[in-house]
Amino acid sequence: MIDVGGTLWPNSWPFRQTDAAGRHERVAAAMPQLGAAAIGSLVADLIESSRIGDHARAISTETPPTIPAAEILIGASLERQGLPADVNVVNRIRRAMAIPVADRMKPLPGAIELLAEIRALGLRTIIASNTYWRDAESYWDDFRLLGMAAHIDAIVTSVDAGHLKPHPAVFEMAIRVAGCPAQRCVVIGNREENDVEPALALGMRTILVYPDDPKPASSRAHAVVPDLWECARALKAMLHDG
């Protein structure tokens, strides 16, 4: 099970002036029955009400959200526009707001090699990630564009699980998807609190990586490695030792 921000790709991504236009286009495509004026005021409201959270994620994707969950924020926005907020509409808008990231950053060095090595070791890769707008379906689009999708078996996000890590829901869902006991799972991530601690509590093994962070002062992880090539070696050694 692998974390994404600070593990497979950088901790943060830059915002672009074109993001608003991109979201406008994507929401318009998701809501073809709405006229241009209605789309304009809905998107303006969505962008304004989520601005604090988006800025926080430009500094760190690990930053705890200071705004309500995406579904609640979108529901409130639709209500202010006098539009019905049924669950399908909310999900369509949430995916539209998850602008693709593949054009603004690359996977961290060794990320694709790590995923390929996991496959070569006969293991499966399940993404276990905290997100705001993104669910598994949005993430698949990102990973396809970044050339990583072929190495990934399943994706579980906090949007899908209904709670942010360190809540155990993301890992519990990932264990169900893996279909094997927690003792046979290894969690790879860059945060002691979000990745290592909840994984240990569920009886999983852990590798703390810091390809985009300072060296941690201490960790309870089974292995602590500076980059993703070392991570692949640590994983191999872990399998070898049983």
Summarize as ranges the residues that interact with Mg ion (CB under 5 A): 3, 5-6, 190
Residue in the shown chain whose Cβ atom is closest to Mg ion: 6
Query: Which residue lies nearer to Mg ion by CB, 5 or 53?
Result: 5
Query: Which residue lies nearer to Mg ion by CB, 96 or 185?
Result: 185
Query: Which residue lies nearer to Mg ion by CB, 78 or 164?
Result: 164
Answer yes or no: are the C-beta atoms of 127 and 4 closer than 8 Å. yes
Smallest gap from Cβ 112 to Mg ion, in A, equals: 18
In what helix (H) or strand (E) does residue 207 lie, and over which residues does it extend? strand 205-209
Smallest gap from Cβ 238 to Mg ion, in A, equals: 20
Query: Which residue lies nearer to Mg ion by CB, 5 or 107?
Result: 5
Smallest gap from Cβ 145 to Mg ion, in A, equals: 20
Measure Cα distances from 111 to 30, 147, 170, 186, 234 in Å: 32, 11, 21, 16, 14
Measure Cα distances from 208 to 43, 87, 97, 195, 226 in Å: 39, 37, 31, 8, 8
Smallest gap from Cβ 228 to Mg ion, in A, equals: 13
Q: Where are the alpha helices (DSSP H) in the chain?
A: 19-30, 36-59, 70-80, 87-97, 111-120, 136-145, 158-161, 169-178, 197-201, 228-240
Query: Which residue lies nearer to Mg ion by CB, 9 or 205?
Result: 9
Smallest gap from Cβ 9 to Mg ion, in A, equals: 9
